[in-house]
Each structure stands twice: as structure tokens, then as C-alpha cells.
Structure 1
Amino acid sequence: MLLSFRVSNHRSIREEQQLNLNPVYEDDRPVGTDWAAVPVAGIFGANASGKTNLLDALQYMAHMVVSSHRDAEPDGGISRHPFLLDDAARDEPSWYIADLLLDGVRYTYGFAVDDTRVTEEWLDSYPMGKKRQLFSRGDDRVKPGASQDTRELELVESITEPNVLFLSLAARSRQRDFRPVYDWFAHHLQFRRANDTRSYALSAMRALEDADRYPEIMLLLRAADLGIEGCGTERLVMDEETLRRQYGSRRIPSRLLRELEDEGPRELLRPWVGHRGRNGMVQLDLHDESAGTQALLQQAPRFLSVLRRGGTFVVDEIDASLHSVLTARLIGLFQQPETNPNGAQLLFTSHDPSLLGRRDGEDILKRDQVWFVEKDSFGESSLYSLADFKPRKDENRERRYLGGSYGGVPFIDESFTEALLRRGGGATGQDTEAQRQARTGTDSETASSRH
């Protein structure tokens, strides 16, 4: 599990910000669990406040751990994204630190990079709650911990370029202490970006193809009240007759006809979704479904996979194309040990304030599962928790958030609206007769009130 994540000097994050997932309120803990971290964390804020940048920083850290040894060219420097609105930040390192709980042992791993090299890096573990240093790196030297094979790590150090993380290579050595942290970044931390449309389509196809093997997908579709009775895939020989039958009265795309002429008939996998009709179930193509149904199909397999195997799932804009009730249902799967037996975590961003409310008499998000991001006048993002406000358990958090009590809401500048009102008659900039009369009347009333 991810216990906390700290970052500084990454995109709009100038000073160090910490996402702390340790539970704050014991009475908000899901019944029957002893999870060391909250299973869900939702991050809210205005557009361009820095929500996505926080997730991007965690993804950057994961990419460096898994791929720095493959991507780096000798003396090629390091690709990073420092804060650009302060000249001093460009010359300062960017920091990334993660606290993890893996198989009952806590680990702290972090590193700092500038444009040319890794300036610092370290890994500590806490077996039995006592700190044990596994290695530290600074001044272009690696210092193995007392428990490590010095000769083995010296060999790893000798092949570690200045722009490569030591952990990326040490995890491949015979030292087993490094592997759990590397494996978490490589295999148990997953990301879903809001604009990753290609992987969405593949996920939707996989969901329908695996519907028999994973009955939870069908249960979720039925629970969503979409009128869906079944789903699956079928293999079709794609020839001109099949295309005409599939497209009916609609025009067959010329691209498909050209492909058919060049390549001849071929076998394709056709996903379908079955809906209730007057005469029974009707199979519809996936592209005939609503954006919401497609979004649910695209997202469901990833959610269910993480719940089944455990790990941390990071989702940007979880509410994209989904009704808030469906989003709340997906979040709720992580809150209960019955549907989340392996303590999986969900970390997401959202613009949907209804997720701060309640469903079926229960809070969708607990008080220690809500975070806000704001950007100041200098373009610097800050992250803070709802728990900082010490909210009552029964207060209406959705209404208070919309009212600005917690911050994290956009400031709407009325000057644009006022400018349009002043333009009056539209593009000509001339007032209408009614507007002139209204203003004349108002001016007369004002003059009378002065006497």
C-alpha cells in the first residue's frame, strides 16, 4: 500500500507537497479492516489547479524506477519537468519520495534529480518498526547499508550511470531487499490517464471478450440500470455482405471498402452488448452504445483487476463520461473488505462535487479520503486535506465545498460577463432601444433619489 507521496519542483508544484494516506479518523475506518492506509483518496480542485500534475509526478517516479536504465544515454542528462515560473527552480533538483507498506514491512524510497544526474537517492526499510538503511547515494557515491553485500553493490554501482537510478539496477542483483519496492512500482502501481483513448477501446473490447470469465462485469452493467441483459464478442468473416448487413441503410465507410478490396475478406472480432427489446434481447455494436456505457465498459476491467489482485490504481478524471451514481459505485467497491479483500487502493482526481456527498445513507468518501489542490497567484500548487478543517462527521461537505468553505473551487471573474453586457447589441456594440430605455429609467430614478 502507498502510505504517502511527497514531491517538489515538478510542473506546477514548486514547494514540497505531501499526500498522506494514513487514516485520521478511526471511526471512519471501513468495518472489519485494519488497513494501514485509506483505500481511497479523491483529489478535487479547479481546472488547471495542479491535480493532474500530482498524479503525473507519481507516474514520473514510477517511470524512472522501472525505465531509467533503459532510457538514459551516457552523458545524456535527465528529462524532467521542473517548475518554470521561477528562474531559481530550473536550477534546483526535483524530489520524489514514497512511503510504502509491502508484505507487512514499511519502506521509504526517494530520489532527487536535476537536468544532468541523480543528485540523491536512498532506500530504507523498517522491519519490526526499526529503521534499516539499505543504501544511500550522494556526491556521486553509493553507500550500502550495514546489512548489504558491499561487493555486490559496488559492482552494481560501477555500471550505474549518473543519470540512472541505482534501484533500477540493484533490483536485478542477488540482493532481495530491493525487489519489493521495484516490483511495486513496476507491477502494483497502475495508471489511467484521462486522454488515453486507445487503451480505453482495448479495455472495452477485453471487457466484452472476458464477460463469461469475469461475471463481475455483467453484474456491474446490470447494477448500472443501463438496460443491458448480456454482452460478449463474436468472430465474423468481414466481407462486403457482412458490411452491408452491419451498416444497414447507413453508408459503409470507404476506408473499409478499400481495405476489403486490397486485402480480401478477413476474420474480425465483433463486440456486442445485448439490450432488452420488445421481442427479447437485441445485440448492438459497441459503437452504438452511449458514451457513458462505453466509458463504464472501458473502465470496469481495470477496476476489477486491481480489486482482484491488489495494488494502487491511479485514475485521472474518474468521472469522465460517467454518471455520478456509477462513479460512486466504483469507488464503493474499494471501501468494503468484501469487494476489496486484498486492500487495493484507488487514487483519483475529479471535478464532481457530488462525490463529497452521500449515497444510500453512507459517505461516498470519508473525511480522511478527501484532498484539495489550489494554485496561488504565482502559479504554485498547494495540496491540503479536508481533515485539516476538522469537519464534523455529519456536516454537508458537498454544500460547504461548493460554498467555498474548503477552498479548491474556481474564482469566476465577472469582468467578461460585464463586458458582454456593456456591448449590448452584440457585435455592433450598440445598445438596443429597450436597454437604452431601461438605463434612462434607472438614471432618472437615481437622480430622483439624490433630491
Structure 2
Amino acid sequence: MLLSFRVANHRSIRQEQQLNLHPVYDDDRPPGTGWEAVPVAGVFGANASGKTNLLDALEYMARMVVSSHRDAEPDGGILRHPFLLDDDAKGEPSWYVADLLLDEVRYTYGFAVDDDRVIEEWLDSYPMNKKRELFSREGDSVKPGASQDTRELGLVESITEPNVLFLSLAARSRQRDFRPVYDWFARRLQFRRTNEARMPYRLSAMRALEDADRHPEIMDLLRAADLGIEGCGMERVVLDEENLRRQYGGRRIPSRLLRELEDEGPREGVRPWVGHRGRNGVVQMDLHDESAGTQALLEQAPRFLAVLRRGGTFVVDEIDASLHSLLTARLIKLFQNPETNPHRAQLLFTTHDPSLLGRRDGDDILKRDQVWFVEKGEFGETSLYSLTDFKPRKDENRERRYLGGSYGGIPFIDESFTEALLRRGGGTGQEAETQRQAQVQAAQSRD
């Protein structure tokens, strides 16, 4: 479980910013949970404000932990992404720090790097809430904690290059204290990037249909999405040319499959289908006949549900890129409920969708301490801040206040831009303002 994440000098993040996931309001917690961190956190902000860069920083940290020993060339330096709009930042280190709760023990791990080497690195644990230093590093010098095998870690130190993280290699030693943190970055922290949301869904959607029998919650989610779906699955079919053309839905059939068909003749394969309510009963439709939204849900739902089953932290950039807000709200609700989230899984996402600040079925989609905003300053630096900084009332209409600009984190179009568009006859500025006013009115109507 991620308790907090701090980063400095990474892409548009100049000064240290902290995403603190500790709960703030006890009356927003589901009764009897005692979760040490919020299960959901949504980051809102205008385009190019730095939302993605915050998630990119966490992914960069994970990539360094898992593969710095494989990726680094001797004397090859470190690939990093410092803030580019300040000449001083290029010569300063980039910092990454994560506070974790793993098997009821808190850990703090962090490192600082420049273009050439690891400047600092450290790992502390807090069994029984007492600090225990596991190791600390300054440059090439590593100091093992009092509880560690000095000889064993000395061997690890001797093979650690200046541009490689000590944790990446120490986790492979016989010292078990390092494995929980390494394993969290390697296995329990997962990312869905923006470009993945726009990729073709076919293969992953087919896997979802294959898993539908073993994981009935996939079907439950499809039914709850009110897509008119009554069933789904796979059936065995003879893969002749006609069935291949049906499966590929008018798209070009790979020449390899056509050659195999010509050389070996028809063979047995599978046909994915989705059953819809019809006037005369359930009608089985081919997967390629489904809407992009249905295919997106089939592609994404198994990943959300897998995290809920196993635990871990799922990081999603632009969660609303391919899912309707009602579906997104339902997926969020699964993480909020201890019955559907027994392993304290977490969902961290960015979004442009202000409706997620509203309510569904009488409950807040996001609690007050689960909402974060990013803004860019005059010189391009990203600032991250929490809704809790505004001390919001539990019953206030947060969607309306956000659209009205009370919290910041929304795009600002000055009058000169609007007037320039109007002079050119486009009317785009007025249309944008009209659309914003319509969103505010819609939020007011939901109050």
C-alpha cells in the first residue's frame, strides 16, 4: 500500500511535491475498515498542467528499482528528465521518495540521481513503529544498518556501479529485509498508460471473455454497465476462410493465417461472442460488432478486477479516456467498498472528468481526501495540492465549485485569446465559455 510519494526536479515538477494518501476525515471511511491509506486518489487539472508527469515520476522510480542493474552501461550515466525551464535545475539532482505499508510494516525508500550517478539512496523500516535503518548510501559508499549482514552487503556494494541503485542488487542477496520493497515496485505496482487506452482492444477483450467463466465478476460488471449485455463467452468453431473474415470484421486477415489455411486446411479455433437482449431472446454477436466503449470495458475491467483480487496499487493515466463516467464511477466504487476490495488495493488516476467530483446513488464518488489538483505556475512549474487544503464541507457541491474555479486546476483562457478567435469569425471562445457554463449548470442541477 502506497502511503505517500514525493518527487522533485522531474519534467514539469521543479520543487518537491508530495502526494499524501493518509486519510484525513474519519467520517469518510467505510465503517470498520481502518485503512491506513485512502483506496482511491484522483488527480484533476488542465491539459499540460503536469498530471501525467506526476504518474511518470512514480513509474520512473519503479523502473529504476526493477531494472537499473540491467539497463545501465558502465560509465554510461543515468537517463533522467530534470526540469528544463530553469538552468539551475539541470545541474541539481532529481529526488524520488515512497512511503509504503507492506505486511503491516512501514518502509521509506528514496534516492537522488543526477545525469551521471546515484547521489543518495536509503531504505528504512518501522517495525513496531520504531525506525530501523536498513542501509544508507552517499555516492559509492554504502552503510548497512545495524541489523544487516555487513559482509554480505559489502559484496553487493562492490558490484554496484555508480549509476545503479543498490536496492536493485541487494534484493537479490540473502538479506530478506529488502525484498518487500523491491517486490512492491516489481509486482504490486502496475501502470496503465494513456496510449494503452487508445490501442486496439481485440486481444485483451478476448482474454476477458475467456476468463468470464472463472471470474463471474466480469459479467456482473458488464451487466451493471447497462450495455444490454446478458452473457458472453467463447465457442469452438471451424476456422475456415468465412469464419476468419467474420472474426476480423472486415479488417485484413494476416497473411500467415491465410497461408496456414491454404496449406493445412480449416482447423478448430474459438469465436468470442457477446450476448445482447433482443426482442426474441439473447442474440450472440461477434466481438468486432461491439462498440468501442464495450470493447474498452472488456479490455480494462480484468485489470481492475485483478488488482482487487490480489491487492496492490493500480496507476491509470486519463481514466476517462475510453470509459464513460458512469462506468468509471462504478469501477471507483469497487475500490471504496471493503467487500469488493478485501486486500486494500489502491487506484491512483488522472482525469479531466469533473463529474467524478459529484455523487452517484447518494454517495460521493470520491471522498474529500481522495481529490488532488495540479496547476502550472508562471514559469512552468507544476504544483500539486489537495482538496483538503480548502477544508471542504462534506455536503458541498464540489463538482460545481471546481467548474466555477474555486479550487483552481482548470484551464484559463484570457479575454485576448477569446477576442482574437471572435475577430477571425470562429466563435470558438464563446462556444467554450458556453460549454463551461452548461457544465456548471449541470453540476448545480445535481446538487
TM-score, normalisation: structure 2: 0.91
Instruction: Tell me if the contact between 1:107 and 1:181 (Cα under 8 Å) persists in the aligned partners.
Output: yes
Max Rg structure: 1
Give matches, 1:30-429, under 5 Å.
30-196=30-196, 197-198=198-199, 200-243=201-244, 252-253=250-251, 255-256=252-253, 258-264=255-261, 265=266, 268-424=269-425
Identity %: 84
**Please, which moves more after superposition, 23-32 or 6-15?**
23-32
Separation (CA, whole Å) in 2 of partners of 1:3 and 1:349: 18
Instruction: Tell me if the contact between 2:38 and 2:346 (Cα under 8 Å) persists in the aligned partners.
Output: yes
Separation (CA, whole Å) in 2 of partners of 1:103 and 1:425: 58
Instruction: Tell me if the contact between 1:240 and 1:257 (Cα under 8 Å) persists in the aligned partners.
Output: no
Q: Which residue of 2 aligns with 1:14?
A: 14
Separation (CA, whole Å) in 1 of partners of 2:257 and 2:347: 44
2:313 partner amino acid: T
Structure 1 residues 370 and 283, CA gap change in structure 2 (3 angstroms) = same
Structure 1 residues 241 and 205, CA gap change in structure 2 (3 angstroms) = closer
Structure 1 residues 136-161: Cα deviation after superposition (integer angstroms, max 9, x where no partner)? 00032000011110000000000111
1:41 partner amino acid: A
**Which 4+ residue blocks in structure 1 deviate beyond 6 angstroms?**
none
2:47 partner amino acid: N
Separation (CA, whole Å) in 1 of partners of 2:366 and 2:377: 26
Instruction: Tell me if the contact between 2:5 and 2:18 (Cα under 8 Å) persists in the aligned partners.
Output: yes
Separation (CA, whole Å) in 2 of partners of 1:169 and 1:127: 23
What's the Cα RMSD here? Answer: 1.8
Q: Give 1:258 deviation, angstroms.
A: 4.5
**Please, which moves more after superposition, 234-243 or 131-140?**
234-243
SS at match of 2:55: helix
Separation (CA, whole Å) in 2 of partners of 1:138 and 1:260: 57
SS at match of 2:10: coil
Q: Which runs of 5+ in 1 are unaligned?
A: 427-451
Instruction: Tell me if the contact between 2:139 and 2:162 (Cα under 8 Å) persists in the aligned partners.
Output: no
1:222 partner amino acid: R
SS at match of 1:379: coil
TM-score, normalisation: structure 1: 0.90
Separation (CA, whole Å) in 1 of partners of 2:2 and 2:11: 22
Q: Which runs of 5+ in 2 are unaligned?
A: 428-447
SS at match of 2:212: coil
Structure 1 residues 258 and 299, CA gap change in structure 2 (3 angstroms) = closer
2:105 partner amino acid: V
Structure 1 residues 67 and 260, CA gap change in structure 2 (3 angstroms) = closer
Structure 1 residues 391 and 138, CA gap change in structure 2 (3 angstroms) = same
Separation (CA, whole Å) in 2 of partners of 1:47 and 1:124: 37
Structure 1 residues 293-344: Cα deviation after superposition (integer angstroms, max 9, x where no partner)? 1111111101111111111111111112222111111000011111111111
